[in-house]
Structure 1
């Protein structure tokens, strides 16, 4: 994606300078987002230490501490040598499983808050993406993420699904929107992990994903917003059914 036409590179929103607060904690959070949302997948190498530290605007000492924490948690490993670096582990830690009833008690009104926020952000992202003149890289990025989601195994589906939704926000031309979508997706994934993945629902979701991407590629903002809204409504209905 070229900067000239307003596009941003895949995952760039997650690697922008950290905000004020605790640099270590936020660096860990950013790296975990990149892994859990599929920006860097199992077996992939993270950007170089020098590049990551510069993009996140943290010291290399802070970055090394964050990588050490993720190594101890089982998310990454460091390799030495000419082709070394920090790599995402092939097998990632399984998410903590919480029963639907317990999660519903813990959430309070958090479920509806997350669903409303997601709808506002992601429908707007789809509409914005369809309103832009996309570069060849933008279009290829969307199509690749769609194909990866279609071909994903059950164990990888949620991560690839997250990656596709983030890709839609990335090609909207707004790094801030992409970052906000990543944040709300992390919140939703914690809820989605508490409910089962249903084969029939996956087939339906794949059809809706294609409708969203096709509308964006066709430059039809209204259709893109409508298709994304229908897709999100289905996910919201499942979450409400299991968690309330």
Structure 2
């Protein structure tokens, strides 16, 4: 399934392979592709997907281990495991982050709206294979069953999944980038039961429209959901 995880683990394009590799792995962790305790793909597979040498990958992993984000385990069930945890919601940090962003916040929200509505439209238009349909439904089921501690991570994972099943690595990478610009802000919003209930209905409407091939419906449901998230963000800032 080369579309799964394609939003993050795509070939490194810059001359700073080490730095970009560290960035990609951190994005995968912070955006919820891999959560606390999850094992990263084997080194050989990950190096191929990133288009780098195994030596460069090992240097990046060693740096992330020194920073406390991952740990390496030996033995039959060994590998590299995620030890990073999302910080708890913090409204003070949220307001500080927004002040730092300034006018960039509205730019980031607009960018996200355009990319994610386009991704939902394309996913609905494409006609998904059974495996892709199962992947999307699986991400939705995970999110609907999530507790407060896991909700934000699995919410990111769900939104990335829609972009991934479009088959466009460029679009999936764009959605990942837009999410990273807002990720600290979104994670800082307290998880409210009423909001989660409302979002759950919207998420399901998005998936149902995509699976039905309803392009206009997928766009409407996604626009409604993103507008609600933006309004909640602005509300807490006020």
TM-score calculated relative to the size of structure 2: 0.93
- Choose which of 41, 48, 59 in structure 2 pairs with 1:65: 59
2:6 equivalent to 1:12: yes
Aligned-CA RMSD value? 1.7
Counterpart in 1 of 2:79?
Answer: 85
Q: CA deviation at 1:96?
A: 8.9
| Structure 2: distance between partners of 1:12 and 1:178 | 7
For structure 1, the residue ranges without an aligned partner over 5 or more in a row are 2-7
For structure 2, the residue ranges without an aligned partner over 5 or more in a row are none
| Structure 2: distance between partners of 1:87 and 1:125 | 30
2:217 equivalent to 1:223: yes
Matches within 5 A, 1:1-244: 1=1, 8-89=2-83, 92=85, 94=87, 97=90, 98-243=92-237
| Structure 2: distance between partners of 1:193 and 1:14 | 19
Q: CA deviation at 1:153?
A: 1.1
| Structure 2: distance between partners of 1:62 and 1:200 | 46
Instruction: Give SS of 1:83's match.
Output: coil
TM-score calculated relative to the size of structure 1: 0.91
Q: CA deviation at 1:188?
A: 1.3
8 Å CA contact 1:129–1:172 kept in 2: the answer is yes
Give the aligned length: 237
Q: CA deviation at 1:59?
A: 2.1
The structure-2 alpha-carbon separation of the partners of 1:119 and 1:77, relative to structure 1 and needing over 3 Å to count, comes to same
